[in-house]
Amino acid sequence: MEYKILLWSNLSLFILHEMDAIYRKEWMMLYPVNRLDETNAHILFTGMHFFLFLTIFFMLDQYFYYIFWIMNIFGILHFAAHIIFIKHKHNKMNNVFSMGIVLLIALISALSLILYFFINQ
């Protein structure tokens, strides 16, 4: 049950982060989406999330441990990507709210993996 609560918390924060990413036009940092005009880039970036979340919700039901590992590894790597691109000219996510969400995802991911390794020893 602890794993589920941690994963649900991470997924909730991830959805919140993606809402923030759409608001702050994160696609401006992503090739090739940043090559499109703003309207089409917004539609594509937002629309891709339908398939992303459909896959995540399906995996929650059918393949819990796969999504557990994927989300935890992604949460840590995603934080690293935000640090690497912190000075990107189109990065509008350099604020306490946006980075706080990304940091919480990374912390919950790390905690989840630590607990998994200690509990399953």
Q: How confident is the model at residue 77 (pLDDT cuts 50, 70, 90)?
A: very high
CA–CA gap between residue 71 and residue 77 (Å, rounded): 10
Sketch the domain layout of the chain as residue ranges: 2-119
Give 87's contacts (C-beta < 8 A, 6+ positions apart). none
Query: Span 98-116, mean pLDDT?
Result: 96
Q: What is the pTM of this model?
A: 0.90
Summary mean pLDDT of the chain:
92
Give 27's contacts (C-beta < 8 A, 6+ positions apart). 21, 33, 34, 41, 42, 44, 45
Q: How confident is the model at residue 120 (pLDDT cuts 50, 70, 90)?
A: confident
